[in-house]
């Protein structure tokens, strides 16, 4: 079986795994197919006919099924396969849950894509043209969240036509989150969604369709192509503006990332904050009807007066960074609340870190 990292939340991680599996399978099927015709062609994944789903479990019994919609892939005539997954296209059916998966679990502001690579041996599929359907176990490498993992998948490769090949999972694949360093992000999901017992393993299934370069995809031959929830979707990057609800969803979730950093006892922004600040700048710019307040908080170490001053300076530093990036000054304000409004007891280093935070809220201009 194919084993990949499962993310803490129900499905996030599974999608990546599925893509990886599908990619490898498709690659092998495509390569095999081309070898029969003589000159082996290059193959391209058809995102409109390909499907990747993942199931996750929360509260021990509640199962949710989701997808990652935007995928690209290719298989060269030499057997080099590569598939890229756009993690910003996570589709749970609910915008707020999509944003949680992106920013809290996958941390797409730092790791927007995952990539699968494989070297396919045509000999393993030498009889595909006659059998039309071949099962195989294929090794591949998955890069996600900055981590490379060597895996293998059990797949079924089916020749749909002389120019189309389907690569599908033979059975759901169990994906384990901790393999990719994503286990801590499950806590963030549970806190944000106010749920418990998210199982850190996802079950992934897929059906990828590859077409020979130069051929026309016969969508009518692929049942998946007729489904409205199959194929690419518009991500935030393609939207000119967000609705008020989308804006509020994004500000609420970005506030929970904990990815804005300062030097100890200082209001100087650390360079590690840049990825999230860039994401915040993009969201604020697409919410022109809202005014954003940047709020700073501290833990309880030190005097209340000093903490309030520090929180004010840190919030101002973030607001200044947004204005420097081109956000109108009248659209951004800042406030510091010191050790007020803690989100956890100030009794452990972990809880104190949760209380040292920057939050974003919005009101109508």
Give 301-354 pLDDT, tens digit per residue: 999 999 999 999 999 999 999 999 999 999 999 999 999 999 999 999 999 999
What is residue 150's predicted lDDT score, i.e. its pLDDT?
87
Quote the CA–CA distance of 156 and 154 in Å, as a whole number: 7
What is residue 312's predicted lDDT score, i.e. its pLDDT?
98
What is residue 140's predicted lDDT score, i.e. its pLDDT?
85
What is residue 228's predicted lDDT score, i.e. its pLDDT?
64
Written in H, E and C, the secondary structure of the chain is CCCECCCCCCCHHHHHHHHHHHHHHHHHHHHHHHHHHCCCCCEEECCCCCEEEEEEEECCCEEEEEEECCEEEEECCCCEEEEEEEHHHEECCCHHHHHHHHHHHHCCCCCCEEEEEEECCHHHHCCHHHHCEEEEEEEEEEEECCEEEEEEEEEEEEEEECCEEEEEECCCEEEEHHHHCCHHHHHHHHHHHCCCCCCCEEEEEEEEEEEECCCCCCHHHCHHHHCCCCCCCCCHHHCCCCCHHHHHHHHHHHCCCCCCCECCCCCCECHHHHHHHHHHHHHHHCCCCEEEEEEEECCCCCCHHHHHHHHHHHHHHHHHHHHHCCCCHHHEEEEECCCCCCCCCCCCHHHHHHHCEEEEEEEEC
Q: How far is CA 36 from CA 122, 157, 230, 304, 323, in A?
A: 10, 15, 31, 76, 60
What is residue 129's predicted lDDT score, i.e. its pLDDT?
83
What is residue 77's predicted lDDT score, i.e. its pLDDT?
79
What is residue 234's predicted lDDT score, i.e. its pLDDT?
94
Tens digits of pLDDT across the chain (365 residues): 333 333 333 334 444 444 444 444 444 444 444 444 455 678 999 999 888 888 888 888 888 888 999 999 998 878 888 989 999 999 999 999 999 999 999 999 999 999 988 887 777 777 888 899 999 888 888 899 999 988 888 888 999 998 998 888 888 878 889 999 999 999 999 999 999 889 888 888 888 889 998 776 554 444 444 456 789 999 999 999 999 999 999 999 999 999 999 998 899 999 999 999 999 999 999 999 999 999 999 999 999 999 999 999 999 999 999 999 999 999 999 999 999 999 999 999 999 999 999 999 999 98
Q: Mutual orientation of helices 304-324 and 274-285 as an angle, nearest 10°? A: 60
What is residue 133's predicted lDDT score, i.e. its pLDDT?
93
**pTM for this model (two decimals):** 0.85
What is residue 176's predicted lDDT score, i.e. its pLDDT?
87
């Amino acid at each position: 079986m194919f084993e990949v990292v499962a993310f803490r939340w129900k499905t996030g991680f599974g999608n990546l795994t599925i893509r990886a599996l599908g990619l490898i399978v498709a690659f092998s099927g495509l390569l095999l197919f081309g070898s029969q015709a003589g000159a082996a062609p290059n193959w391209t994944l058809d995102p409109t006919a390909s499907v990747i789903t993942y199931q996750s479990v929360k509260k021990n019994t509640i199962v949710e099924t989701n997808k990652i919609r935007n995928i690209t892939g290719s298989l060269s005539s030499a057997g080099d396969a590569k598939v890229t997954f756009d993690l910003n296209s996570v589709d749970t059916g609910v915008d707020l849950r999509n944003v949680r998966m992106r920013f809290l679990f996958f941390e797409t502001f730092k790791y927007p894509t995952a990539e699968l690579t494989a070297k396919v041996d045509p000999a393993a599929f030498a009889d595909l043209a006659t059998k039309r359907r071949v099962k195989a176990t294929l090794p591949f490498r998955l890069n996600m969240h900055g981590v490379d993992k060597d895996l293998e998948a059990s797949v079924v490769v089916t020749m749909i036509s002389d120019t189309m090949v389907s690569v599908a999972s033979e059975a759901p694949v169990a994906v384990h989150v901790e393999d990719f360093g994503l286990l801590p992000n499950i806590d963030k999901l549970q806190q944000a969604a106010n749920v418990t017992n998210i199982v850190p393993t996802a079950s992934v299934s897929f059906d990828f369709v590859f077409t020979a370069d130069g051929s026309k995809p016969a969508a009518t031959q692929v049942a998946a192509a007729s489904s409205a929830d199959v194929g690419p979707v518009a991500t935030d990057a393609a939207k000119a503006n967000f609705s008020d609800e989308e804006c509020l969803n994004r500000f609420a979730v970005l506030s929970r990332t904990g990815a804005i950093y300062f030097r100890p006892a200082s209001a100087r922004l650390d360079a590690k904050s840049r990825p999230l600040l860039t994401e915040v700048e993009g969201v604020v710019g697409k919410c022109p009807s809202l005014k954003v307040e940047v709020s700073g908080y501290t833990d309880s170490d030190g005097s209340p007066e000093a903490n309030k001053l520090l929180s004010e300076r840190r919030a101002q530093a973030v607001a200044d960074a947004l204005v420097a990036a081109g956000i109108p000054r009248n659209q951004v304000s800042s406030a510091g609340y010191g050790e007020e409004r803690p989100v956890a007891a100030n009794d452990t280093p972990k809880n104190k870190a949760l209380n040292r935070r920057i939050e974003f809220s919005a009101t109508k201009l």
